[in-house]
């Protein structure tokens, strides 16, 4: 049974999560839905399972399981697992969301880094990047895609033509 103190602790952890994208996202309330939630304040770990959805502003994270790791009450990383786990967010200065899917998404919060493992895909403005593993720096908009050793798959990239009349830099 969930107690008011437990729910308050879970919300405190979630409210402290910084997100990178639209700067205004940080001032938005966080909405969380899950079939189950467990919070271990002594070890700085909270685990949400069963159709988990986390929304804050333009950021939407969903998966079968989301684990939040904190140090001194400050979230350091979130690990989302699913089939697939999904991440969506609108970066500052962009008109299109960044969409990322993988079997596992690890968000290193302070580094603004998203690590994707297993059938990784990142899409923005129609551009598609696919590989076994990816690292996407949200703040600098840099992506590193690779395949696992021994894999017979290759990194696949699809780039859309840019509209030269509009400057073609909105990606």
Q: What is the pTM of this model?
A: 0.78
Q: What is the pLDDT of residue 36?
A: 98
Q: What is the pLDDT of residue 131?
A: 94
Asked if 121 and 166 count as a contact pair (C-beta separation under 8 A), the reply is no
Q: What is the pLDDT of residue 12?
A: 44
pLDDT tens column, 12-27: 444 444 334 556 776 6
Taking 70 as the pLDDT cut, the residues of the chain under it are 1-23, 26-27, 164-171
Virtual torsion, Cα 17, 22, 25, 26, nearest 10 deg? 50
Q: What is the pLDDT of residue 7?
A: 41
Q: What is the pLDDT of residue 23?
A: 65
Asked if 122 and 105 count as a contact pair (C-beta separation under 8 A), the reply is no
Q: What is the pLDDT of residue 101?
A: 98
Q: What is the pLDDT of residue 22?
A: 56
């Amino acid at each position: 049974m969930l107690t008011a103190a437990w729910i308050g602790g879970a919300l405190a952890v979630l409210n402290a999560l910084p997100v990178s994208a639209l700067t205004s996202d940080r001032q938005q309330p966080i909405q969380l839905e899950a079939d189950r939630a467990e919070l271990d304040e002594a070890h700085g770990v909270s685990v949400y399972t069963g159709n988990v959805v986390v929304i804050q502003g333009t950021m939407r994270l969903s998966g079968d399981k989301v684990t939040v790791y904190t140090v001194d009450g400050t979230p350091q990383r979130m690990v989302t697992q699913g089939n697939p786990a999904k991440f969506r967010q609108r970066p500052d200065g962009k008109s299109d969301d960044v969409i990322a899917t993988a079997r596992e998404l690890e968000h290193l919060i302070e580094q603004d880094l998203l690590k994707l493992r297993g059938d990784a895909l990142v899409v923005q403005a129609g551009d598609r990047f696919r590989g076994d593993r990816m690292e996407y720096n949200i703040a600098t908009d840099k992506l590193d895609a690779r395949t696992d050793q021994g894999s017979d798959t290759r990194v696949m990239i699809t780039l859309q033509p840019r509209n030269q009349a509009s400057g073609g830099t909105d990606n």
